[in-house]
Chains A and B, each alone.
Chain A
Amino acid sequence: MQVSSSDRFSDFMSESKLSVYRPADATANGEENASRPIPLDEEILIRKAFQSSPEEGCELLFRRYHRPLCSHALRFVYSPEVAEDIVSDVFCRFWKNSSFDSVSTSFCHYLFRSVRHAAYSHLRAEFRQLDSLESSKLPEGSAGLRPDHITQYEETFNRVKELVAQLPPQCRQVFLLSRFEGMRYKEIAAEMGLSVKTVDTHLAKAMSLMRQGMRDYLILSTGLMAMLMGNG
């Protein structure tokens, strides 16, 4: 009954070897509607789905928007893990709070807005946390502040990108391996042939440069400066 021919077996095994790799699965990622422009009406179907079954509606939304949302969040936080977390969280709350019943904009609008708020807050919380002196001055709950203008989000993530690009090369690589690849110091050290201590130094330097570059930016762009001055 269960005769797997040995030829087939070795075929399978050899497919998996590390040495030669045919990029066969490059096309395997189903991307049905990746490149065609989407009329806003597209959401009509999703709205219909919500009328009969919120579960189905949510699933459709997830299938439709999860990818671009993750990509968007990543621009702010520079970590795939965190970006996915943020997006999952938005979707979970979307269900839990039955937000779909109260959304007055398109779902696309709502989801993107939620994700960028969350990503922005994360970014702020992160840079704030790193600077204890500064954070002691910040009023409670200030993490909830958001930019006044929509375009400030674009400014923010483009600023992040710029800052990363401006890091010294080795420093940047350490930063990217740590954030993007989620590698540990030890792994980065091995990868780049550096000592763990040097990796640590690079990372600290990267974070400090990023922090400097972002701090003024985030604070100014949210009008926090005024609050700081008021408090201080």
Chain B
Amino acid sequence: MKAAITKKLILDNFTGKTTPLQRKQIDGWLQSKANEELYFKWLEEWETRNPEYQPDSDPLIQGYLDYIHSTPRHAAEATPEAAGSSFRAPLNRSGAIAATIAAIILLSGIWLYGESVLYKTYRTAGSETKTFVLNDGSKVTLAEHSTLKVPRWGFVTPNREVALDGRADFRVSHTRDGRKFVVKTEKNFEVVVLGTEFSVLSRRREAEVVLNRGKVLVNYQEGNAARQLVMKPGELVSFDQHNQAVLKSAPKSPGFSAQGEKRFVFEKTPLSEVALMLRDTYGADVRIDSPNLARRQLMGSFQAEDLDELLSTISDLLNIEAVREENVIRFSEKRSQFVPSKP
């Protein structure tokens, strides 16, 4: 007898909850074209409702449109249905392939469109701000009345370079090949990112860089001399009209005492930086037992009501000891319970 193939059964199949026999029945059911259509429709529905992953598609659309406009298309052949060939290289080479494709696109685009093809321009007007994610995963918040130019369809230059006029806030992601992220401005200075999170302001009359996390290098021109300075988290560099740099500490964040939900977000934040943060916000004296420990990184987003809760979370996350005595916080290694086994 024919088994009833229901939508539920098909959905169960997507989640791997069917038996081999049921799968066989589904395959039989799929002999009909109409059923096959239905199957893929449900698959799409299922993926949309239960995404395993949600890319930020929006910035990629422009890249695709650029590809379309710069690539002539062939007439349709009796297309061998869908992809079958192993056009894709093994994992570790996929980046290189993407880069090659991007390079070809850019090269062919330059002839036709010039700069507008090379760069996508994000603009904010009035009091509007915009947040978006670049192709490399870096997150940018563009403040009011600002412009940011970003290479379209990925960064193909040795450095990831963007050009800013106005004010923006960057959270830079690492790339596998460790390419630097550079923010260029028209004010004769640029910021080279060695770490992660910072803000840049560059307007006609003012220019500032604030570093929240990580490490950045600021290249600037003072008179005729090229200068350079390295910033640490919590520092602010401002430039006066003669492009002279002044380094000071950034205005304190409202930090943990802020109203509302207390959510802490760590994105690969080393313990050493967490220590700085604890010192700045709580005035605590933080001691980390070993340099190794200081390099351990925290990742994740969680809630904590107070310092002790925060410490206990940190201790859980990193599986380390976090002890507080009055104003002194001490992080130390737990005695290791895990001994990696040789394969």
Partner-B contacts on A (CB < 8 A)? 2, 4, 9-10, 12-23, 25, 28-30, 34-35, 37-38, 40, 54-55, 58-59, 62-63, 65-72, 74-75, 77, 79-86, 88-93, 95-102, 105-106, 108-110, 112-114, 117-118, 121-122, 124-126, 129, 143-144, 146, 149-151, 154-155, 158, 161-162, 170, 182-184, 187, 190-191, 193-194, 198, 201-202, 204-205, 208
The 8 A CB mask of B58-78 against A (1 = contact, 0 = none) is 101101110111010111111
Q: Known contacts A69-B47, A118-B88, A154-B23; can you find 14 more A-B pairs with CB under 8 A?
A: A13-B251, A18-B273, A19-B277, A66-B61, A68-B44, A84-B55, A88-B63, A96-B74, A97-B76, A113-B82, A121-B83, A187-B174, A191-B268, A191-B297
Q: List 30 A-B contacts (CB under 8 A).
A: A2-B203, A10-B251, A16-B141, A18-B266, A23-B261, A35-B49, A55-B69, A59-B68, A62-B64, A67-B48, A71-B47, A72-B52, A77-B91, A80-B55, A91-B64, A95-B73, A97-B77, A109-B41, A118-B88, A121-B85, A122-B88, A125-B88, A149-B23, A149-B30, A150-B27, A162-B16, A187-B174, A191-B299, A193-B292, A193-B318
Selected contact of B43 from candidates A20, A23, A112, CB within 8 Å: A112
Stretch from B109-117, B224-232, B239-247, B335-343 forming part of the interface with A? B335-343
- Are A161 and B61 within 8 A (Cβ)? no
Q: Does B77 contact A63, Cβ atoms closer than 8 Å?
A: no
CB-CB under 8 A from A129, the residues of chain B are 90
A184 to B179, CA, bound (A): 13
The contact of A2 among B204, B262, B263, B269, by CB within 8 Å, is: B204
Q: Does B119 contact A (CB under 8 A)?
A: no
B153 to chain A: closest residue by CB: A88
Inside 8 A of A81's CB, which chain B residues have their CB? 94-95
B86 engages A121 (CB within 8 Å): yes
Main secondary structure of the interface of A (DSSP, over half): helix
Residue among B14, B64, B205, B281 with the highest chain A CB neighbour number at 10 A: B64
Q: Count of B residues near A, CB < 8 Å?
A: 116
Q: B289 in the interface, Cβ–Cβ < 8 Å?
A: no
Is there an interface contact between A201 and B340, defined as CB atoms closer than 8 Å?
yes
Inter-subunit contact B269/A95 (CB<8 Å):
no
Q: Which A residues touch B343, using CB under 8 A?
A: 201, 204-205, 208
Do residues B78 and A190 form an inter-chain contact, with CB atoms below 8 A?
no
Which residues of B lie under 8 Å from residue A75 when comparing CB positions? 52
* B276-332, CB < 8 A from A: 277, 281, 292-293, 295-297, 299, 301, 318-320
Which one of B54, B71, B210 contacts A71 once the chains associate, using CB atoms below 8 Å?
B54
Interface residues of B (CB under 8 A from A): 13-16, 18, 23, 26-27, 30, 33, 36-37, 39-41, 43-45, 47-49, 51-58, 60-61, 63-65, 67-69, 71, 73-79, 81-91, 94-95, 97-98, 101, 129, 131, 141, 143-144, 167, 169, 171, 174, 176, 178, 197, 199, 201, 203-206, 210, 212-213, 250-251, 253-256, 258, 260-266, 268-270, 273, 277, 281, 292-293, 295-297, 299, 301, 318-320, 338, 340, 342-343
Give Cα distance in the complex from A105 to B37, angstroms. Answer: 7
By the criterion CB–CB under 8 Å, are A37 and B45 in contact?
Answer: yes
Residues of A within 8 A of B266 (CB): 18
Instruction: Name the one of A17, A62, A67 contacting B51, with C-beta atoms under 8 angstroms.
Output: A67
A108→B78 contact, CB < 8 A: no
Question: How far is B170's CA from A13's CA once the two chains are assembled, in angstroms?
Answer: 11
In-complex Cβ contact of A113 among B40, B76, B258 (8 A): B40
